[in-house]
Chain A
Amino acid sequence: MTFLRKLALTTALVAGLSASAMAEDVKFGLLQDFTAVYTFVTGQYNQGQQDYLALANAEGILGDGNTVTAIVRDTGNQPQRGIEAYNRAKEEGAILFDFLSTPVSAAILDQASADKNIVITPAHGRGDASDGTVFPYVFPMMPTYWAQAAALIEYMKETGGLEGKKIAIVHIDSPFGREPGPILDALAKQEGFEFQAFPYASPGNEQAAAWSEVRRYRPDYVLIWGAGGGQAVSVRTAIQNGIRPEQIHSVIWLAETDAANVGPQMKGVKRFEATAAGTDHPIIQRIQEKVITPGKGSGDQANVGNSYYNLGVATMAVAVEAARLGLEGGQPLTGDTLKAGFEKISGFDAEGLMPPVTYTAEDHQGGGAGRVSEWDGEKWVPVSDWKAAYPDLIRTVIEESAAKYKEGN
């Protein structure tokens, strides 16, 4: 097997060399959890990533015959398997990694930074990694959970006001579920609302106890903070407890599948989104035309345009753009030049698929802009514009937490 792979590699190398002496094959390690906890997102997300890379190669976005290849492996959300996959992909020459798993990212963060390899943590992982001065090689690249919480609070403020209102945050009992805590604490003081947290036990298949408490609390707004199967349970149990769908606001992890699981009651539920859903975008159209139609897609066609699929497309669109900018000037692409490429990105919006992002040496979150969308019974419809909510507050929280990390936490 190894022999075959080597043979294929050598042939490809020889062919590549004869075609263009300078052409480079940039390798991205997409070492994700396809089989354990993150299965609700990984399949579609990774499909979007691979399809976009296929499009980038078909269109020659990197120029000069440069190509980009994905090394895809399952880690089963187990840190030790993630470490193995990381070390192997590193040997194969990967310089950018996406683990889409908080425990695996946490286990590799230090090592990858020591190796000067880029780790992207879109919509997962540590929020404080947005501080590029402390985490030079980590790019959260999209709104952190803190920015997401702030965006949802700001949306509530704009639609119904916050003064004297009550917000219930119903979350999974895990570090991830606790992420919005500090933001809510700070905003409650600033905006004059009160909130209470209602945790439910992981994985959240049963949340009746939490929601009957919520019912007694009589909240004006409800924030749901979970992922996977628990999200549909949250929405369903909320409605059973007399919460109106319009009151429910969700973290980014609420998608078409959850809507299908909840059924018609879902109409009116809102969520944060970092990328637009649907197929009505130039990039998705071109993926349809140049990747899916010729049969080069990496998965089920029905997924194209789903929220998580588009999220995957957007991550790779940014990463490929960074690689393109990093290759400018003709130097070979390494972790350092790729980092420089990221930090050259300014106002990039993947042709409207996502809000314009700008990365600097300090800000690896890219501004933290997102928007809120609402389920209209068939699809997600945006109900606000792309913008970053409370950016100063978010930045303060990021810097405080990053400073603690620097001290050794």
Chain B
Amino acid sequence: MFYRLSGTYHTSYQADRKLWKIPTDRWLVIALLVLAALAPLYVSPLYLGSYVLPWVIWSAAALSLTLLMGLAGQLHFGFAAVMAIGAYASIHLVRAGVPFELALLLSGLIAAVIGTVFGGAALRVKGLYLVMATLAMQYLVDWVVVNVPAISGGAHATLRTPDVGFLFLPIDSLASRYWLALGWAVALTVFFMNVKRTSFGRALVAIRDKDFAAAVIGVDPFRTKLTAFATSSFMGGVTGAILAFCFYRAVTPEQFGFNVSIQLVAMVLVGGLGSVIGSWLGAGFVLLAPIFLTNLVSGLAAGGWVPVSQNFLSHLPLMIYGAMIIGFLLLEPLGLAKIYDNIRKYFLVWPFRHARS
């Protein structure tokens, strides 16, 4: 119905290699992009600043993590620490007088170097053991941040971000902060979609599926795994810096704690491992569902519909949220991305029943 394929012919290799081969997909993406870019014009500051902006930034974080977990198959349970490195590095660099644009790049590089060092564990261990190694990274980075006042910013461990500009655009208003974050998230999205089609992306997938089989066909596991950690940590580091400068504007160690790492893993899993749209949907779900549920339940309570104590009232959204995660994963173990894919495929061949792929 919507995704009409008849009349769509790919007569050149170029046409067949497009990112969005079906016109409807293409138009949908363009429409979404225009809507997103114009969001500051029609979304109220409350929703822009508290919902859309964090969603965009956390989607970028989920994309960074899913490159490692989804494409390369290397589990990482300390990704918030990677973002913390990026955030703290960028603030200290800007304070030292480095231009913001350069500080973003450098903070990504610093995160990449440290992330790769810990990623070295992946050369020896896999699966749950790698989870332990990355958890160690989380706790080590946390400990260093809290215990080195020069990093955390002294007694109260709060560092405020200095005023900065990005390519002559001052990053102070909500709209400019949103545009910078959106630009970064879109860049990551395009990068991610393209990396899947490069030899590097295929090497990652080969490593994920069986690393010694990949070695047999000529993929160097040593280089590929470390590059995967470096790329993903670079993306995560810059995202951490964006999070600090565009959203929080005051950095504290708690913003990058272990629970944030778990949230990021949840985003990637609920959204669908290794999927672009899954990262966006997963980040939106994990980040915003608790907020929506809390407001919904509080609204019902204010209307006298839920006569329970404040304590229970606060836990009710968590129960619903937990049930929703289990529900979604039971319904479709491959995540929200697969649910979207099913819907899309249904319309692809409608009114017939089965899509080919």
Contacts and interface: CB of A to CB of B under 8 A. Distances in A.
Given A8-B303, A126-B158, A299 B309 contact: yes
Contacts of B36: none
B46 A106 contact: no
Nearest to A299: B309
* A contact face: mostly helix, strand, loop, or mixed: helix
Contacts of A286: none
Nearest to B311: A43
A72 interface: yes
Interface in A125-140: 126-128
A106 B315 CA distance: 24
Contacts of A4: 299, 303
Contacts of A74: 294, 313-314, 317
Interface stretch (B99-107, B205-213, B217-225, B242-250): B242-250
A187 interface: no
Interface stretch (A84-92, A270-278, A339-347, A370-378): A84-92
Contacts of B247: 80, 83
A181 B154 CA distance: 12
A35 interface: yes
A279 interface: no
A181 B155 CA distance: 9
Contacts of B158: 106, 126, 409
Interface in A337-359: none
A298 B254 contact: no
A409 B50 contact: no
Nearest to B253: A175
A408 B152 CA distance: 13
Interface string B300-341: 101100000111011101100000000000000000000000
Interface in B131-158: 143, 146-147, 152-158
Given A74-B294, A87-B45, A409-B158, A34 B310 contact: yes
A93 to B, nearest CB: 13
Nearest to B49: A87
Given A43-B311, A175-B155, A106 B299 contact: no
Contacts of B162: 408
A165 interface: no
Interface string A380-409: 000000000000000000000100110011
B156 A34 contact: no
A206 interface: no
Interface string A5-25: 100100000000000000000
B205 to A, nearest CB: 33
A158 interface: no
Interface residues of A, number: 52
Contact of A408 (B160, B303, B309): B160
A103 B254 contact: yes
B215 interface: no
Contact of A83 (B49, B254, B311, B317): B49
B310 A80 contact: no
Nearest to A103: B254
A1 B155 contact: no
Contacts of B253: 175
Contacts of B194: none
Given A107-B248, A178-B155, A409-B160, A8 B302 contact: yes
A182 interface: yes
A401 B149 CA distance: 14
Nearest to A39: B311
A1 B309 contact: no
Contacts of B152: 175
A85 B50 CA distance: 8
Nearest to A129: B156
Nearest to A297: B309
A81 interface: yes
A289 interface: no
B291 interface: yes
B296 A300 contact: no
B146 A106 contact: no
A87 B46 contact: yes
B227 interface: no
Contact of A87 (B50, B298, B318): B50
B310 A128 contact: no
B290 A404 contact: no
B160 A1 contact: no
Contacts of A5: 299, 302-303
Interface in A68-126: 72-74, 76-81, 83-85, 87-88, 91, 102-103, 106-107, 109-111, 126
Given A35-B318, A83-B50, A173-B147, 14 more contacts: A1-B303, A5-B299, A5-B303, A35-B314, A80-B247, A88-B50, A88-B295, A103-B252, A106-B156, A106-B250, A107-B252, A299-B311, A401-B155, A409-B159
Query: Which 7 pairs between the two chains have the least Cβ-Cβ distance?
Result: A34-B314, A84-B50, A103-B254, A74-B314, A175-B157, A1-B299, A4-B303
6 contacts: A35-B314, A74-B317, A83-B50, A103-B254, A103-B255, A126-B158
Interface of A: 1-2, 4-5, 8, 34-36, 43, 46-47, 50, 72-74, 76-81, 83-85, 87-88, 91, 102-103, 106-107, 109-111, 126-128, 173-175, 178-179, 181-182, 298-300, 401, 404-405, 408-409
